[in-house]
Amino acid sequence: MGNMDNLKTVYFVSLGCPKNRVDTDVMAAALVERGLELVFSPDEADVIVVNTCSFIGDAKEESVDELLEMAQYRSRGRCQMLVAAGCLPQRNGDDLKEAMPEIDVMLGTGSPDRIADLLEGQKVELHPGTGAHFLQNEGTARLVTPGQTSVYIKIADGCSRKCAFCAIPGIRGKAGSRSIENVVAEAKMLAEYGAKELVLVAQDTAAYGRDLKDGTSLQKLLVELNKIDGVHWIRVMYLYPDSVDAALLETMRDLKKVVPYLDIPIQHASESMLRAMRRGHGQRELKTCLLETRRIWPEAFLRTTVLVGFPEETDADIDELLAFMEEYRFNHLGAFRYSDEEGTPAFGRQPQVSKKESYNRFRKVMARQRKIVNKNHRALVGQTLDVLVEDVEDEGGFVLLGRHAGQAPEIDGITYIVNCDAQPGDIIPCRITEFKEHDLVAEPVQEDDV
């Protein structure tokens, strides 16, 4: 290609997790710095970038479907260059190029900031199959929409755990952390852009700083982020159960800006499944962690993730999981079905659970969680919670969309605020009046009611 002179516009598709979203922001900044304009429709784009996910089979399928759809614009539209970025080319680069010759450029997980060089035709190593993560530094630009109320910050990348079902270490390599100063500098910039909530993400957030071997820790980072003017909420995602100890819980509870919310992915509750999945702990440690959490921070909302259909899983294992869910009554629970992924320790393990059976188990888990959520939400009616206003739903401004502290962006439902004239970015006390499935309805509490 040689140069980018005839490339004027770029369109991004970002799939998968919030960590990917941050990498997409970095790629967008790199191309805008080189003079390209961001457009919001693929038929207006000279360059189309699909930042892919390949965590499980469904995610790979979605990434391939999206690439195939964007390839139509490459063959018949304005698009001159189709870029496949992220986990799928990192993991399956050769196969992908063979299957889709329409792809002009592939970029793995290790260097989103170098996308402009790639488009210029300079060689960038992909290292497929070796695992590569990307950490922002002081010089890394990131494109964030001014006024965005909630923004993800990737504090570390990669993972040093060896869970049997997980492909991430093979894609993104071992855990690597950014320095506290580096994260704080980005957080201050985001606060200046108007971010009211910072959502900290990594593959294993509680392990933040361990690889630096200089005393850096999640607790120390939270203490520093808590000092930043303009930031009102700090939310921490992806805390592994065996890393959640009393010291961390007490720090999170005592810092004013850290919201009462804990995302602790348990993946399962049956002893045999936890062992087979190589989670590094058993049911007893899991119970200790959750009981300690409830004791130290009783008002914290709990989110978790579970995996069903792992090889050798039985109906008895699922019954154990359902009983565990009843006992600990998570406010939010996401489930996904096992996908037999090449390169993971569990690949090819027998006996496999049939697709139909794993789907039935998934439905059973989600049906039970719906009942638990119903009871949890019923208990919230009449309570007053702080709600972050994010958007206006109707022109009259009578219905606002927001989230209370126990709702993470995009995954935990929303709170509709009625009869309220607040602005996006405001945090207002609201009384919960009713609930609908995963969402809540609330009205502002008048000052004389407080």
In a domain, 168, yes or no: yes
Considering the domain architecture, whether residues 336 and 401 belong to the same structural domain is answered as no
Q: Does residue 415 fall inside a structural domain?
A: yes
16 with 92, same domain: the answer is yes
What CA–CA distance (Å, rounded) separates 178 from 200? 12
Give yes or no: residues 275 and 171 share one domain: yes
- Asked if 361 and 440 sit in the same domain, the reply is no
Last residue of a domain, one of 359, 380, 401: 380
**pLDDT over 70 at 2, yes or no:** no
Directed axis angle between helix 283-296 and helix 315-328, to 10°? 10
Q: Are 420 and 444 in contact (CB under 8 A)?
A: yes
* Chain-centre distance for alpha carbon 155: 12
Examine the domain organization and report whether 186 and 292 are in the same domain. yes
The answer to whether 195 and 149 have CB atoms below 8 angstroms apart is yes
Distance in angstroms (rounded) separating the CA atoms of residues 297 and 292:
8
| Residues 115 and 182 occupy one common structural domain | no
Give CA separation, 209 vs 189, 251, 265, in Å: 22, 16, 20
Q: What is the DSSP string of 123-168?
A: -----TTT-------TT------TT-SEEEEE-EES-----TT--H
Residue 1 falls within a domain, yes or no? no
pLDDT for position 136: 81
3-state secondary structure of 313: coil
The arithmetic mean of pLDDT across residues 351-379, rounded, is: 94
Assess if residue 369 is contained within a domain: yes
User: Any idea what the CATH number is for the domain that residue 388 is in?
Assistant: 2.40.50.140
User: Domain boundary residue among 380, 405, 421?
Assistant: 380
Identify the CATH number of the domain in which residue 26 sits: 3.40.50.12160
Those residues whose C-beta lies under 8 Å from the C-beta of residue 319, and which sit 6 or more positions away, are: none
Confidence (pLDDT) at 449: 53
Q: What is the mean pLDDT of residues 161-177?
A: 86
C-alpha–C-alpha distance, residues 359 and 361, integer Å: 5
What mean pLDDT do residues 181-210 have? 93
228 with 281, same domain: the answer is yes
pLDDT tens, position by position, 289-325? 999 999 999 999 999 999 999 999 999 999 999 999 9
User: Which stretch of 215-219, 343-347, 371-375 has the lowest confidence by average pLDDT?
Assistant: 343-347
pLDDT tens, 9-38?
999 999 888 888 899 999 999 999 999 999
Task: Please indicate, yes or no, whether residues 76 and 212 belong to a single structural domain of this protein.
Answer: no
**139, part of any domain:** no
- Per-residue pLDDT at 205: 93
Residue at which a domain ends, from 99, 119, 139: 119
Q: Quick check: 299 and 274 in contact, CB under 8 A?
A: no
- Residues 437 and 321 reside in one and the same domain: no
Q: How far apart are CA 334 and CA 427, in angstroms?
A: 27
pLDDT recorded at residue 1: 42
What is the pLDDT at residue 94? 78
Looking at the structure, tell me whether residues 290 and 328 fall in a common domain. yes
* Cα 20 from Cα 27, distance rounded (Å): 11
Choose between 98 and 269: higher pLDDT. Answer: 269
Range of the domain at 389: 384-449
How high is the pLDDT of residue 152? Answer: 93
User: Is residue 111 domain-shared with residue 256, that is, in the same domain?
Assistant: no
This model's pTM is above 0.85: yes
Q: Are 373 and 391 members of one domain? A: no
Domain total in the chain: 3
34 part of a folded domain? yes
Residue 126 within a domain: no
Residue 275 lies in a domain: yes
